[in-house]
């Protein structure tokens, strides 16, 4: 799946969306939103019915997963060809989520996810950097054990989106007093920040799993023990 660099949300996943729907979102007219099964393309009602996308609704995802890789690719190709002519564009998934939330508000519908509208995002990167410096200058962190890198401190700040909060993740800070000290530093910092929604997690340690095969090495993270979590909504 592709990625995109969004000026508001940073490095994000992508969503494919028909131009009518996107225009409707931008003009705040918010027509009905449909999703083409299998492809996951977001389209307006007109694109959906005109292209007989409802016929795809009989195809179950679990059946597709059961198919061989070749069959899956072939099916995806056939479906892509059928919808190739729909005028569509690629957008940041969190921008799409912002519009979906606004549409739900306007139409009095249930929210599609729990919103975090008041959180530090990529566009607030300066504030995030200031907080990071504050933490590093007040606490001696252990180095992270990310494979092949040994110079990162084991504290990770990740900007938020509209569907998830700004987060700070600590490792190896297991002493309760140290945790309280860091939480206090963060609380004091946010006194002067209007975007207060945040998630703070303390994990006992990192759990990197390195798998080596004949041709490649992959790194992934296994389950990690959460010691303390604080979410400000
Ligand atoms: Zn359309
Ligand atoms: Zn975005």
Gap from CA of 68 to ligand 2 centroid (Å): 35
Cα(43)–Cα(33) distance, rounded to whole angstroms?
Answer: 6
Nearest ligand atom owner, CA of 163: 2
Dihedral angle over CA of 130, 133, 137, 143, nearest 10 = 150
Gap from CA of 92 to ligand 2 centroid (Å): 5
Gap from CA of 42 to ligand 1 centroid (Å): 8
* Residues with C-beta atoms within 5 A of ion ligand 1: 18, 20, 43-44, 47
Gap from CA of 143 to ligand 2 centroid (Å): 31
- For 64-94, give the DSSP string: HHHS-HHHHHHHHHHHHHHHTTS-EEEEEHH
Nearest ligand atom owner, CA of 123: 2
Q: pLDDT, tens digit, for every residue of 129-174?
A: 999 999 999 999 999 998 888 889 999 999 999 999 999 999 999 9
Nearest ligand atom owner, CA of 25: 1
Per DSSP, 57 falls in state: G
Please list the pLDDT of the chain residue by residue as tens digits (233 residues): 689 999 999 999 999 999 999 999 999 998 888 888 888 899 999 999 887 777 777 777 778 888 888 888 888 888 888 888 899 999 999 999 999 999 999 989 999 999 999 999 999 999 999 999 999 999 999 999 988 888 899 999 999 999 999 999 999 999 999 999 999 999 999 999 999 999 999 999 999 999 988 888 888 999 999 999 999 99
Question: How many other C-beta atoms can be found within 10 angstroms of the C-beta atom of residue 135?
Answer: 19
Nearest ligand atom owner, CA of 6: 2
Nearest ligand atom owner, CA of 87: 1
Length reported for the chain = 233
CB 189 within 8 A of CB 206: no
Nearest ligand atom owner, CA of 161: 2
Predicted TM-score (pTM) of this structure: 0.85
Q: What residues does each domain of the chain span?
A: 3-106, 122-232
Write down the pLDDT at residue 37.
Answer: 81
Gap from CA of 116 to ligand 1 centroid (Å): 28
Gap from CA of 4 to ligand 2 centroid (Å): 9
């Amino acid at each position: 799946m592709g990625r995109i660099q969004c000026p508001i949300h940073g490095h994000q996943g992508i969503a494919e969306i028909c131009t009518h729907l996107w225009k409707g979102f931008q003009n705040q007219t918010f027509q009905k939103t449909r999703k083409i099964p299998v492809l996951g393309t977001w389209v307006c009602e007109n694109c959906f019915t005109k292209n007989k996308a409802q016929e795809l609704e009989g195809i179950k995802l679990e059946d597709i997963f059961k198919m061989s890789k070749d069959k899956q690719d072939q099916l995806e190709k056939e479906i892509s060809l059928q919808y190739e002519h729909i005028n569509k564009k690629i957008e940041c998934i969190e921008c799409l989520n912002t519009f979906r939330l606004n549409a739900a508000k306007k139409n009095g519908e249930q929210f599609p996810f729990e919103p975090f509208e008041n959180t530090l995002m990529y566009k607030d990167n300066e504030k995030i950097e200031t907080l990071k410096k504050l933490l590093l200058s007040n606490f001696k962190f252990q180095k992270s054990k990310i494979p092949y890198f040994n110079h990162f401190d084991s504290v990770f700040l990740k900007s938020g989106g509209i569907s998830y909060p700004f987060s700070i993740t600590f490792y190896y800070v297991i002493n309760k007093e140290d945790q309280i000290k860091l939480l206090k530093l963060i609380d004091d910092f946010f006194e002067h920040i209007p975007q207060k929604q945040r998630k703070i997690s303390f994990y006992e340690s990192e759990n990197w799993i390195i798998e080596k095969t004949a041709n490649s090495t992959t790194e992934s993270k296994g389950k990690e023990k959460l010691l303390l979590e604080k979410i400000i909504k």
